[in-house]
Amino acid sequence: GAVVSQHPSRVICKSGTSVKIECRSLDFQATTMFWYRQFPKQSLMLMATSNEGSKATYEQGVEKDKFLINHASLTLSTLTVTSAHPEDSSFYICSGEAGGPPDTQYFGPGTRLTVL
Amino acid sequence: GQNIDQPTEMTATEGAIVQINCTYQTSGFNGLFWYQQHAGEAPTFLSYNVLDGLEEKGRFSSFLSRSKGYSYLLLKELQMKDSASYLCAVRVRTAGNKLTFGGGTRVLVKP
């Protein structure tokens, strides 16, 4: 299957700081990438859909000014958590669509964010 | 929105078979995916169904009935490494082809 990488895999930061997470499709071009958040023992919740060259589409309840998404190229999308707070601590996972059909989403290894 | 239901937990014995059911209610159905997720890791793609019937891939099979809004994932010859969460996800055409995930089924394989 297609390979997606994420960096960093784990980050610990102080409350009030910003954290940037990178998502790269290594062997395919992803016009569309998705950002999810997963709390312990819960399923994946879609935060936003990132389209190359255009603004991201955010799900209801997700603050676009807090979670900044940039999809600068067909292989790179970034999520910046601004002014992070302890309640933002979570597992953040990105995925890229490898092209269809069936336009399967392939997931990155995830980033564990801990805000102190 | 979409309602996707799957059991929370299942336990099975090594070498046995386990069937994980998933029911969904949605309009604009455009495919159902099964993913495996080990604790602390990202989901990995297992199977995809868009037409009714059974898709077989080695020890894993997935079935879909669109009229019933029902799918199952069948795991045969269970191995200890199959202990993981299994996520059912539905893609909806009217929602920009986004995936909506069920809560996941945690499968514990015992010796």
pLDDT, tens digit, for every residue of A41-80?
888 999 999 988 888 999 999 999 999 999 888 899 999 9
Q: Write the residue in B41, B99, B102 that is nearest to A105 by C-beta.
A: B99
Of residues A40 and A107, more confidently modeled = A107
The amino acid that residue B25 corresponds to is Q
pLDDT, tens digit, for every residue of B20-48?
999 999 888 999 999 999 988 889 999 99
Contact yes or no for A20/A76 (Cβ under 8 A): no
Helix (H, G, I), strand (E, B) or coil at B25: strand
Q: In 3D, which of A99, A77, A72, A97 has the Cα closest to residue A21?
A: A77
- Average pLDDT for A82-111: 89
Q: Is the pLDDT of residue B50 over 80?
A: yes
In the prediction, which pLDDT does A13 show? 96
Q: Please give, rounded to a whole number of angstroms, the shortest distance from the CA of B31 to a CA of chain A.
A: 8
Q: Is the pLDDT of residue B11 over 70?
A: yes
Q: How confident is the model at residue A1 (pLDDT cuts 50, 70, 90)?
A: low
What is the Cα–Cα distance from A14 to B38, expressed in whole angstroms? Answer: 28
Q: Which positions in chain B touch A46 (Cβ < 8 Å)? A: 98-100
Q: What is the mean pLDDT of chain B?
A: 93
In the prediction, which pLDDT does B63 show? 98
Q: Please give, rounded to a whole number of angstroms, the shortest distance from the CA of B40 to a CA of chain A.
A: 8
Following DSSP, what letter does each residue of chain A receive, concatenated? ---EEEE-SEEEE-TT--EEEEEEESSS--SEEEEEEE-TTS--EEEEEEETTS--EEPTT--TTTEEEEEEETTEEEEEE-S--GGG-EEEEEEEE--TTT--EEE---EEEEE-
- Average pLDDT for B48-67: 95
Q: Is the pLDDT of residue B1 over 60?
A: no
In the prediction, which pLDDT does B40 show? 84
Q: Please give, rounded to a whole number of angstroms, the shortest distance from the CA of A2 to a CA of chain B.
A: 10
In the prediction, which pLDDT does A97 show? 86
Does B42 contact A at CB distance below 8 Å? Answer: yes
In the prediction, which pLDDT does A101 show? 67
In the prediction, which pLDDT does B78 show? 97
Residue B61 CB-half CA count within 13 A: 11
Following DSSP, what letter does each residue of B77-89 receive, concatenated? S--GGG-EEEEEE
Say if the Cβ atoms of B98 and A49 lie within 8 Å.
yes
Q: Is the pLDDT of residue A100 over 80?
A: no
Q: Is the pLDDT of residue A30 over 80?
A: yes
Contact yes or no for A35/A20 (Cβ under 8 A): no
Does A110 contact B at CB distance below 8 Å? Answer: yes
Q: Which positions in chain B touch A1 (Cβ < 8 Å)? A: 44-45
What is the Cα–Cα distance from B35 to B46, expressed in whole angstroms? Answer: 5
In the prediction, which pLDDT does A93 show? 96
Does B40 contact A at CB distance below 8 Å? Answer: yes
Say if the Cβ atoms of B33 and A104 lie within 8 Å.
yes
Mutate to test the interface with A, among B2, B97, B108 (most CBs of A within 10 A): B97
Helix (H, G, I), strand (E, B) or coil at B94: helix
Q: In 3D, which of A49, A20, A51, A42 has the Cα closest to residue A91?
A: A42
